Amino acid sequence: MNKHQALKKYFGYDTFREGQEKIIDAILEGRDALGIMPTGAGKSLCYQIPALLLPGITLVISPLISLMKDQVQSLNQAGIHAAYINSSLTENQITKALQFAAEGRYKIIYAAPERLETYEFLNFAAQVEISMLTVDEAHCISQWGQDFRPSYLKIVQFFKQLKTRPIVSAFTATATENVREDISCVLGLKEPEVLVTGFDRKNLSFAVETPKNKAGYVLDYLKEHAEESGIIYCSTRKNVEQLYEKIAAAGVSVTKYHAGLTNEERRLNQEDFVYDKIPVMVATNAFGMGIDKSNVRFVIHYNMPQNLENYYQEAGRAGRDGEPSECNLLYSAQDVMIAQYLLESKEENPELAEEELEALRERDAERLRSMNYYCLTTNCLRRYILNYFGEQSTERCENCSNCRKEFVIADMTSEAETIISCVRELRGRYGINVVAGTLAGDDRAKLREYGVSSYKSFGSLKTLGEQKIKRLINQMLVDGFLVSTRDKYALLKLTDKADEILQGTQKIILKEPKEEPKHSVSQSSSAGKRKSDILNSKGLEFFERLRTLRTEIARQEGMPPYIIFSDKTLVDMCIRLPLTKEEMLAVSGVGENKFVKYGERFLEEIKQYTGGTKEKLYFGTFEEVEQLCGDTGKKKRKERKRVEKSSFSITREQAEKFPYADQYLAPELAEKLNELREEELIKKTSGAEIFRRVQELGLAGERYENGRRQRYVTEAGKEAGLWLGSRISKAGTEYQDIYYGRKAQRMVAEWFVKEI
């Protein structure tokens, strides 16, 4: 058997996905391998296929019991002999399993890292041929990672004790350089084949929404997405409980998960969700690691998480089956405070020195700021995420809320001045709520109590409304004219840079969506089509029948439905309507073993429904739908370029003619660029926008140092022609600002070039 035959026979797939083959080939040549691929990319196959073809046993180290169980169930369904050894088994069961394993009954064995130390396990390992050691979720080995597990270090001690060194392969979805190096170094990988595939999850569409009433938004969303399975993440238990009550009261089938529930409750609720008994899960971030449920159609974040690492991981639980899915984040200014507060109250490692703790706190604060920028940026969200994880991407994705929105750009400099006077008048003693309330002239008891109604700035931005004032304050925070203190009070203070607004050398530009954005993207999404776009009404009806059959089988077998067949496989059945074994095996996701187990029942259902004649249950031609729903890995994404009228752009010719100079500050550069444009047709750019993009590309940034915001330039930034220089503010204080050299000016001009 070769790798292609194994793929078809056991897994029912025709082609490998991006990167899979390279890793598999390297392992089969006897080399170590490190695969860094996003969630849902198909890492498991990268070691499962070699495991089948290598002579001995493959030992897979995995951090969680639920993960192991899921994987072993899937493998057994596919007709591959596999077992797990972990604390969910009794001592007797473990002895038995190891005995079977020693007899060569299993090709793949999953174990928790703790298991490796036990005498029994070592004894077993000494008796058998271990061809490969695979470390799944390998980022757990890195102290830099989010989920460091000290027990992962035991892996190294373990395999040093083996007589012959097996091939070592490691897999993770964590991309950062530090983690990658740690894995390679700690595991002692020998000239590994390192494969890093793109981090983009093309089938996910991203959105940031700022609904006034989040619960109302969620209820509407659930109504629109009835029947679909999804997760709603809240940042606190209290939020989970409250939202859960509201959703349940609206008659939606929903369950919940957080650390305050008993183990038993958590287990039951998780099962209800995973087994498709209850479609909606409301949870804290305690839920999800190791949930491989493939048909999660949406992940809504009710609150902003603390960093993009967590966000991308949690959002990434949507759409593992490759079907279009939505990741929506509901943002409010208060989320920033909750996140700050949670960071403050985070338990700290008592073994670390104060300096190290401070460095960690600084890192957390920096991550939170990047998360906050994500919620405030008006540029492509996907590009922002990819850049954050070190992937250069310059294209707009056309499939995130920012790419889909049209923006109105307004110069809010004079309003910003008013905000500055207000913060000054309140002497930096209050947070965003009081400041915004004061400016809006709110008649709240709390404000009266503080006595702010007698201030000059009370009500001075009444016409703007409180929400818009808050958005403007947030923009000023992002642009560095204001800072909020790093305690739970999050008091607003002015930075030195605020002077520049008063002096008229800086502007504040607010970019806001033109209309309330729609959160449904099913029509225009370039990520692929939903089944309702592929199947006609009869097709959908038949899909439901197949789904019912799947649920029935799943109940009988005590197995999550997606392990029987994925939604994608069922859709393919509706399209092909197989009537024979050969035809059934051509369906994506139907391998030989699954055919033996379920093939006949599905064939029977299809025969009954069709009466033996194949009707067309889809729109378009067969080739078209196969292109849309087949998993060929070579699927071409339609490039749909949309010209956004409102954004700033110049022509190539104008870029050539641009008056490049030795140095410009961002606002000067923006001013010069603006002079080139056709005023009637094209909106202005700004220093702030240029800086934001520079920041998104990782060329420069801002951090909090000695109590104030400082700009900095990264190594990459220096290379791109940026440097830091001193300036003196009108108030006489010295501060650092970023200068753009000729090379950088060209780069910036290039961003805005639109070929005609």
Residue 257 binding target from Zn ion, ligand ADP, Mg ion, none, CB below 5 to 8 Å by type: none
364 binds, among ligand ADP, Zn ion, Mg ion, none (CB under 5 to 8 A by kind): none
Where are the strands (E) in 203-262, listed by range?
204-209, 229-233, 254-257
Residues that bind ligand ADP (CB under 6 A): 13, 16-17, 20, 37, 39-45, 292, 294, 320-321, 566, 631
**What is the token pair recorded at 166?**
């097996």
Q: Least separation, in Å, of the C-beta of 697 and ligand ADP?
A: 27
Residue 42's nearest CA partner among 635, 631, 636, 597 is 631
Q: Which is nearer to Mg ion, 43 or 683 (CB)?
A: 43
Neighbouring CB atoms inside 10 A of 372's CB total 20
Residues 6+ apart with CB under 8 A from 93: none
Q: Sheet holding 82-85: strands in order across? A: 82-85, 108-111, 57-61, 130-135, 167-172, 33-36, 193-196
Q: From Mg ion, ligand ADP, Zn ion, none, which one binds at residue 403 (CB under 5 to 8 Å depending on kind)?
A: Zn ion
Residue among 43 and 297 whose Cβ is closer to Mg ion: 43
Q: How far is the CB of 547 from ligand ADP (least distance, A)?
A: 17
Minimum separation from the CB atom of position 17 to ligand ADP (A) = 4
Using DSSP bridges, classify how beta strands 722-728 and 734-740 pair: parallel, antiparallel or unpaired.
Answer: antiparallel
Pull the structure tokens for residue 666: 């961002």
32 binds, among ligand ADP, Mg ion, Zn ion, none (CB under 5 to 8 A by kind): none
What distance in Å separates the CA atoms of residue 170 and residue 136, rounded to the nearest whole number? 6
Contact 646, 408 (CB under 8 A): yes
Which residues form the interface with Zn ion (CB under 5 A)? 380, 382, 397, 400, 403
Kindly state the tokens that stand for 612.
């033996």
- Identify whether the C-beta of residue 606 lies closer than 8 Å to the C-beta of residue 577: yes
Question: Rounded to the nearest whole angstrom, what is the least distance from the CB of residue 136 to Mg ion in the complex?
Answer: 6
Pick the closer one to ligand ADP by CB: 468 or 529: 529
Q: Quick one: what does residue 333 bind among ligand ADP, Zn ion, Mg ion, none, with the CB cut-off 5 to 8 Å set by partner type?
A: none
Instruction: Indicate the residue among 43 and 497 with the shorter CB distance to Mg ion.
Output: 43
Query: Per-residue x/- marks for Mg ion, 488-527, CB under 5 A?
Result: ----------------------------------------
Shortest separation between residue 112's beta carbon and ligand ADP, angstroms: 17
> CB under 5 to 8 A by kind: which of Mg ion, Zn ion, ligand ADP, none does 380 bind?
Zn ion
DSSP 134: E
- Choose between 43 and 519: whose C-beta lies nearer to Mg ion: 43
Nearer to ligand ADP, 51 or 461 (CB): 51
Tell me the residue nearest to Mg ion as measured from the CB: 43
Report in angstroms how near the CB of residue 276 gets to ligand ADP at its nearest: 15
111 makes contact, choosing from Mg ion, ligand ADP, Zn ion, none, with CB < 5 to 8 Å by partner type, with: none
Taking the complex as a whole, how short is the minimal distance between the CB of residue 319 and Zn ion, in angstroms? 16
For the CB of residue 35, give the shortest distance to ligand ADP in the complex, in Å: 8
Q: Are 633 and 17 in contact (CB under 8 A)?
A: yes
Please say which residue, 43 or 301, places its beta carbon nearer to Mg ion.
Answer: 43
> With CB cut-offs between 5 and 8 Å by kind, which of Zn ion, Mg ion, ligand ADP, none does residue 397 bind?
Zn ion
Contact positions with Mg ion (CB under 5 A) in 10-69: 43
- For the CB of residue 44, give the shortest distance to Mg ion in the complex, in Å: 5
Name every residue whose Cβ is closer than 8 Å to that of residue 539 and which is 6 or more positions away in sequence: 574, 575, 617, 618
Cβ proximity to Zn ion, 13 vs 374, nearer residue: 374
Q: Is 756 buried (19+), middle (13-18) or exposed (0-12) by CB count in 10 A?
A: exposed
Nearer to Zn ion, 382 or 497 (CB): 382
User: Between 40 and 578, whose beta carbon lies closer to ligand ADP?
Assistant: 40
431 Cβ contact partners less than 8 Å away, ≥ 6 residues apart: 337, 484, 489, 490, 491, 492
| Residue owning tokens 């996701």 | 589
Neighbours of 451 (CB within 10 A): 9
Closest CA to 98 of 111, 80, 79: 111
**Which DSSP symbol is given to 63?**
S
Q: In the bound complex, what is the minimum distance in angstroms from residue 692's beta carbon to Zn ion?
A: 15
> Choosing among Zn ion, Mg ion, ligand ADP, none, which partner's interface includes residue 40 (Cβ < 5 to 8 Å by kind)?
ligand ADP
Beta strands in 385-484 (DSSP E): 407-411, 482-484
Q: Indicate which of Zn ion, ligand ADP, Mg ion, none lies near residue 382 (CB less than 5 to 8 Å, by partner kind).
A: Zn ion
Query: Residue number with the shortest CB distance to ligand ADP?
Result: 42
Binding residues with Mg ion: total (CB under 5 A): 1
Inter-helix orientation angle 687-696/381-388, to 10°: 50
Give the CA angle between residues 45, 49, 50 to the nearest 5°. 120
- Measured from the CB atom, the residue of 400 and 469 that comes closer to Zn ion is 400
> Footprint of Mg ion on this chain (CB under 5 A)?
43
